[in-house]
């Protein structure tokens, strides 16, 4: 019985499974500039193209197509690699399909289970190299002072979906949020680059009204790895609003790639320990670019809604209740509490 109880407890405390899909787009190895890879994923089929060269150093392209392999330990890909001859010259009239040369052997890609923008590529020759998504335009010439892409990529608008299904009191298993992040700076209290913005008045304006900045402002930073987020997490605190005379905050901890990610959502009253409250699975998706939220024009801004998520959940009888101590499933992230307190302080300034 003790063994059965231990197994059940381990299953309860284990991180919730979530959908994992490697990012499509341009990849490279920063240590091998001049060679690039394009990965396109549609459903569970992966198409791979390499911009590389032949044994004489002449430019050549290679392709491989096959299905992703999902296991308990991660996601991988393996298929034959092909090169081609009689390829249409750039700008020349089409003269027919290129001719596939004999298979070069099996190409293998093993994706990092903690970061869907990182992988290890093994050529048919047996040589293995790390590859990663190419970040073309996160860091711009006007971004100075050492700020990194981990901070800058959060600038933009994000749609967030929260899974409340484990809260059986909630009348609906999901809720949603929108975050607009439009500025950044160094904060000595957090000792990190932070980004800031708001929960906007609506999902069309792509910007922050004064009302939103006064009542639903947001601040976050890229946090160090933890047991729940081995590659690090975006740690975001949102001023949800007053309910019954108490200010409530939302804590998001998200592993974000280029345009999407997943993590956890916690709703808690000001002055309490967020890690004593339940954390719910969360998905986030980019819905507008940095350029749009910083420079775009939208509909006229207006006074927003003051009602908080806390008020909505209480009306459903689903308002989160704190444990007396840190909840076991939050123990791995609780070391961030001091930084979370610093983010709260920034919202109060």
- Do both 126 and 181 map to the same domain? no
What's the distance, Cα to Cα, between the start and end of the chain in Å?
53
Question: Looking at 133, 166, 190, which one is the last position of a domain?
Answer: 133
pTM as predicted: 0.84
Question: Looking at 104, 133, 162, which one is the last position of a domain?
Answer: 133
State the sign of the Cα–Cα–Cα–Cα dihedral 166, 257, 249, 206: negative
60-93 residue pLDDT tens? 989 999 999 999 889 999 999 999 988 998 999 9
- Do both 242 and 100 map to the same domain? no
CATH code where residue 153 lies: 2.40.128.120
- Do both 217 and 306 map to the same domain? yes
Contact 167, 280 (CB under 8 A): yes
| 8 φ, ψ (degrees, to nearest 5) | -65, -40
- Do both 242 and 302 map to the same domain? yes
CA distance 335 to 191: 15
Total of domains in the chain: 2
- Do both 127 and 224 map to the same domain? no
- Do both 164 and 270 map to the same domain? yes
CA distance 349 to 345: 6
- Do both 101 and 184 map to the same domain? no
Tens-digit pLDDT string for the chain (349 aa): 343 333 333 333 334 445 688 999 999 999 999 999 999 999 999 999 999 998 888 889 899 999 999 998 899 999 999 999 889 989 999 999 999 999 999 999 999 998 999 999 999 999 999 999 998 888 898 898 899 999 999 999 999 999 999 998 888 899 999 999 999 999 999 999 999 999 999 888 888 989 999 999 999 999 999 989 999 999 999 999 999 999 999 999 999 999 999 999 999 999 999 999 999 999 999 999 999 998 875 444 455 566 688 888 888 888 889 999 999 999 999 999 999 999 999 998 7
Question: Looking at 101, 133, 165, which one is the last position of a domain?
Answer: 133
- Do both 99 and 224 map to the same domain? no
Helix (H, G, I), strand (E, B) or coil at 175: strand
Contact 179, 285 (CB under 8 A): no
CA distance 178 to 195: 15
Contact 264, 226 (CB under 8 A): no
Specify if 178 maps to a domain: yes
The encoded tokens of residue 98 equal 């290129």
CA distance 208 to 216: 9
Domain encompassing residue 199: 149-348
Helix (H, G, I), strand (E, B) or coil at 69: strand
Contact 299, 205 (CB under 8 A): yes
- Encode burial over 246-262: b for 16+ CB neighbours within 10 A, e otherwise: ebbbbbbbbbbbbbbbb
- Do both 116 and 167 map to the same domain? no
CA distance 232 to 148: 14
| 258 φ, ψ (degrees, to nearest 5) | -85, -45
Specify if 74 maps to a domain: yes
13-43 residue pLDDT tens? 334 445 688 999 999 999 999 999 999 999 9
- Do both 97 and 215 map to the same domain? no
């Amino acid at each position: 019985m003790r063994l059965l109880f231990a197994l059940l407890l381990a299953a309860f405390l284990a991180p919730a499974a979530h959908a994992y899909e490697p990012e499509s787009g341009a990849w490279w190895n920063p240590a091998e500039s001049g060679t690039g890879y394009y990965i396109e994923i549609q459903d569970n089929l992966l198409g791979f193209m390499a911009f590389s060269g032949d044994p004489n150093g002449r430019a050549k392209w290679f392709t491989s197509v096959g299905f992703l392999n999902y296991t308990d330990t991660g996601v991988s890909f393996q298929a034959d690699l092909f090169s081609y001859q009689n390829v249409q010259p750039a700008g020349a009239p089409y003269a027919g399909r290129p001719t596939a040369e004999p298979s070069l052997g099996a190409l293998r890609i093993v994706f990092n289970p903690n970061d869907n923008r990182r992988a290890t590529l093994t050529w048919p020759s047996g040589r293995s190299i790390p590859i990663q998504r190419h970040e073309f335009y996160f860091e711009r010439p006007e971004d100075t002072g050492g700020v990194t892409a981990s901070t800058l990529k959060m600038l933009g608008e994000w749609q967030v979906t929260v899974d409340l299904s484990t809260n059986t009191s909630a009348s609906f298993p999901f809720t949603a949020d929108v975050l607009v992040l439009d500025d950044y700076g160094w904060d000595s209290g957090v000792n990190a680059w932070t980004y800031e913005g708001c929960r906007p008045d609506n999902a069309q304006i792509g910007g922050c009204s004064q009302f939103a900045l006064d009542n639903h402002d947001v601040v976050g930073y890229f946090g160090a790895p933890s047991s729940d987020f081995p590659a690090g997490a975006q740690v975001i605190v949102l001023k949800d609003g007053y309910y019954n005379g108490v200010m409530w905050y939302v804590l998001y901890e998200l592993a974000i790639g280029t345009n999407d990610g997943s993590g956890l959502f916690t709703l808690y009253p000001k002055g309490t320990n967020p890690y004593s409250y339940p954390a719910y699975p969360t998905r986030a998706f980019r819905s507008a670019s940095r350029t749009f939220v910083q420079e775009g024009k939208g509909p006229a801004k207006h006074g927003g809604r003051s009602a908080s998520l806390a008020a909505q959940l209480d009306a459903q009888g689903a308002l989160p209740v704190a444990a007396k101590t840190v909840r076991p499933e939050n123990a791995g992230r609780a070391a961030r509490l001091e930084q979370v307190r610093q983010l709260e302080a920034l919202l109060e300034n």
